[in-house]
Amino acid sequence: VVLAPVTRCRAINNVPQNSHVKFYSQRTTRGGLLISEANAVSPQAFGFPHSPAIFSEEQVKAWKKVVDAVHDKGGIIFCQLWHVGRASHT
């Protein structure tokens, strides 16, 4: 079972929230693969406002909560890295 990426634009200040933990945890099955929503790799990489990122320590710590929740249920999660190039929304 694979969950395709779903960019939901719910990351306050581009940091994943508890709602992210709940969203991914609810969709986890043992051995299933979840592909995260697009994660900006730099402050210039955003395609949409309120999308998550993974370039700051705060963002990494927030994603760790998601990863731990998925792993606790036996799932696998893959981080979709994202940079939209010259069309970025910064």
Number of Cβ within 10 Å of residue 41's Cβ equals 15
* 72/58 Cα distance (integer angstroms): 21
Report how far residue 60's alpha carbon sits from residue 13's, in angstroms, rounded to the nearest whole number: 13
For 65-88, the pLDDT digits (tens) are 999 999 999 999 999 999 998 877
pTM over 0.85, yes/no: yes
Residue ranges for the chain with pLDDT beneath 50 = none
